[in-house]
Structure 1
Amino acid sequence: MKSSAKKESYSSRTPMEQDKKGQHKKDTSGVGKSNIRRELLSQHGLKQLQTGHNKNTKQDVQSTSQQKRSESEKSLTKRKTSLGKKRPKANPFYQQSLHTWQLWLTAESTLKIFFIVGIVLIPIGMICIYFSEMVQEIVIDYTNCQSSANTKCIDDIKSDTIKLFNETQEINLEKKGRVWDWDKKTKFKNPDNNSLKGLEFDKPIFWQKSIWELDPDDPQNNGLENEDLIVWMRTSALPNFRKLYRIIKGLKKGDYELQIEYNFAVHHKDFRKRVIFSTMSLLGGKNPFLGIYFVLTGLACVLFGAFCLYIHVNYGKRPYKGSLL
């Protein structure tokens, strides 16, 4: 009975009500669809806005990066131009790229060096000694000579010439050619105006002449540029030394007399003064010191090389155990 009543009540609805209910359902489904469409449209719009914003931001980033690049390029060009003037030359010396070489010393190479140096120096020293012994000298010591003030001289001899007594021939002594031109231009140079007398130079105690009266006949050999002064002022390395006074070209066989002006006495100080007449060789005057030095140095190199060779042959190939023994 209940089921029939329910069927009847359900079936008792009119077709109009059923149509309205269907329309309501249709209307509600349409509203839901419209809301979904709106949400989709809004999401799509947000996506478009986001993509547009992203595009704008990308463009801004690209523009800023391009500006930075351009600025960096400009700064680099400025630096290059500024450094281009200060940059060193494209040369291995300026660029510090020269090739290097390191000497690697071994026992064989060291022994060769000692023997070669000794073999070369010994003949050179013997040649120097040979040429030094070829030089002939006449040495006259005049430290204790007596004054000739109250005596008569055979002939008057000037300071620049020597006269041959058995003939009337005059022998000239050359003043120039004993010093380097570099000494005259640098160390012993006269003032530009050549006014040595006006500058009032004070002469030393034993000088008989002033500095501007050393050679008045030759202005180029007077004053500080006088060759006698330059030769005497050149410092010697050893206590026994020689000073070249004059150069004689051609001296005939005979008897000669030399008059000397003794201005500075040295006998009370244990010094000696000598006049030396000497010939010349290919190596200059007599000087055995250089040849002896070469020979002794060569002998020392050979002996030391032989000693090192003995040690190398007997002990060089043994394993090292803290000592050679």
Structure 2
Amino acid sequence: MEMDGGSASAPAGIEADSVSVRQGRSKIIYQFTQQNLPACKPVLSPAWVISIFFVVGVIFIPVGIVSLHASQTVVEIVYRYDAECVPESFRSNKLAYIKDSSIPKNCTKSLKIPKDMKAPIYIYYQLDNYYQNHRRYVKSRNDQQLLHGLKYHDTGSCAPEDVNHGLPIVPCGLIAWSLFNDTYSFYRGIDELKVNRKNIAWESDREHKFGKQVYPFNFQNGSLIGGASLDPNIPLSDQEDLIVWMRTSALPTFRKLYGRIEEDLDADDIISIKLLNNYNTYSFSGSKKLVLSTSSWLGGHNNFLGLAYISVGASFILIAFVFMLLHVKNPRPYGDTTNLSWNWKSMSG
């Protein structure tokens, strides 16, 4: 009898606990749906609003000044060379010049360093009016082939640069086919400045997106050559020019890292640049620029962030003063509802 009684009381206790749990859960759900949960509900009095605007402005302006100063410490040289490196006889027909392989594309120019430039000095090439974000251009690649090479056969997305002479192309697609192929060498006097071209691509791209055992195959062997060729004896993971180029840009004007000069340059130094003007930007009215730039703790030269902080901070302080003047002119103590248009007494009167 005792055993029967005990076994009967156990399910009753469990059922009571489950009922209480359901009730508690339903109560929480009811409070949430009816917005009765405990919450912080600050009352934004005029003093609080003015103080918040003023504090935000006081914080933003110094941050903007520091950011702007960091940007101004960056020394940047931008040199457009695509027009100057065309021979005089071809200035009126630049397209014929770039398409004629018998014409030397060598070009030597000199740059004067305006300020001291501390190493590392980053070398970029900049292209203008080049739409790497075009839908068909962006889709013309195959990430699986870049990782697995000839083991991956479904390369239809790379057309028309997927097959040549009946053999697959590695890497396939228009992006790789149009690889940038201008080159630069730098000299200070008779001494050549060494350019470090290692680690210019993202480590994640080198390690995870381009195969270490994947080698270029049948690349740039067609009748129409788009850009640079690749060494078939070097795996794609080590072809960092290609990796940098394959990370397409979202805007028509972009810069891509070419290398680094790891020597300091002094103000008024004359740097000779020997370049090969190979890349065809003349057919689409584009332009090519060489950029030498130092860096700061904030990155490269960009005044936008600092100016944005200063503008927002100044606007907030101005709004705070406007609110303060309005509050001084027409004060209303907290809790006073006599001047409200919907006050019951005024309505009834």
TM-score (structure 1 length as normaliser):
0.55
2:204 corresponds to 1:182: yes
Q: Deviations over 1:94-141 (max 9, x none)?
A: xxxxx9762514233332221111111112212222222222222211
Residue of structure 2 in register with 1:120 after alignment = 59
Per-residue deviation, 1:287 = 0.7
Partner letter of residue 171 of structure 1?
L
Q: 1:207 aligns with which of 227, 233, 247?
A: 227
Compared CA separation, residues 195 and 218, structure 1 to 2 (3 A):
closer
Alignment pair present for 1:221 and 2:238: yes
Distance 1:121 1:229, change over 3 A: farther
Query: Distance between the aligned counterparts of 2:217 and 2:248, measured in 1?
Result: 28
Is the helix fraction higher in 1 or 2?
Answer: 1
Q: Does 1:258 align with 2:274?
A: yes
Matched, 1:195 2:132: no
- What's 2:42 paired with? 104
Alignment deviations for residues 29-60 of structure 1 (CA, whole Å, 9 cap, x no partner): xxxxxxxxxxxxxxxxxxxxxxxxxxxxxxxx
Which secondary structure state, in structure 2, belongs to the residue aligned with residue 139 of structure 1? strand
From the superposition, tell whether residues 231 and 197 of structure 1 become closer, same or farther in structure 2 (CA, over 3 Å). closer
Verify: 1:247 aligned to 2:267, yes or no: no
Larger radius of gyration: 1
For residue 244 of structure 2, what is the aligned residue in structure 1?
A: 231
Cα separation, partners in 2 of 1:260 and 1:160, compared to 1, 3 Å: closer
- Aligned partners of 1:160 and 1:172 also within 8 Å: no
- Alpha-carbon distance change, 218 to 198 in structure 1, aligned in 2, over 3 angstroms: closer
Question: What is the 5 A alignment of 1:84-103?
Answer: 102=40
Q: Distance in 2 between matches of 1:152 and 1:184?
A: 31
1:304 aligns with 2:327: no
One-letter code of the match for 1:303?
L
Structure 1 distance, partners of 2:319, 2:228, is 56
Aligned length: 229
Q: Which amino acid aligns with 1:297?
A: V
1:321 is aligned to 2:340: yes
8 Å Cα contact 1:179/1:231 also seen in 2: yes
Letter in 2 for 1:118: G
User: Does the aligned pair in 2 maintain the 1:131–1:283 contact within 8 Å?
Assistant: yes
Letter in 2 for 1:312: H
1:136 maps to 75
- Tell me the equivalent position of 1:286: 301
Uncovered stretches (5+) of structure 1, i.e. residues with no partner: 1-62, 81-98
Q: After TM superposition, list the pairs within 5 Å mapping 1:28-67 onto structure 2.
A: 63=1, 67=4
Q: Distance in 2 between matches of 1:200 and 1:275?
A: 27
**How many angstroms does 1:278 deviate by?**
2.1
Structure 1 counterpart SS, 2:86: coil
**Which one-letter code corresponds to 2:226 in the other structure?**
F
Match of 2:7 in 1: 70
Deviation at 1:322, TM superposition (A): 2.5
In structure 1, what is the Cα distance between the partners aligned to 2:249 and 2:107? 37
What's the offset of the Cα at 1:256?
Answer: 0.6
Deviation at 1:248, TM superposition (A): 0.7
Structure 2 counterpart SS, 1:246: strand
Deviation of the 1:79 alpha carbon: 12
Shift of 1:269: 3.5
Shift of 1:68: 5.2
Question: Does the C-alpha gap of structure 1 residues 249 and 299 become closer, same or farther in structure 2, counting only changes over 3 Å?
Answer: same
- The 1:311/1:134 distance shift into structure 2, 3 A limit, reads same
Q: Give the Cα separation in 2 of the matches to 1:182 and 1:296.
A: 37
Q: Comparing 271-280 with 112-121, which one deviates more in the overlay? A: 271-280
Aligned partner of 2:187 among 149, 164, 173: 164
The answer as to whether partners of 2:210 and 2:236 remain within 8 angstroms in 1 is: no
The structure richer in strand per residue is 2
Partners of 1:110 and 1:136 in 2: how far apart?
42
SS at match of 1:259: strand
Q: Distance in 2 between matches of 1:79 and 1:261?
A: 84
Deviation (angstroms), 1:275: 0.8
Residue type matched to 1:250 in 2? E
| Percentage of identical aligned residues | 25
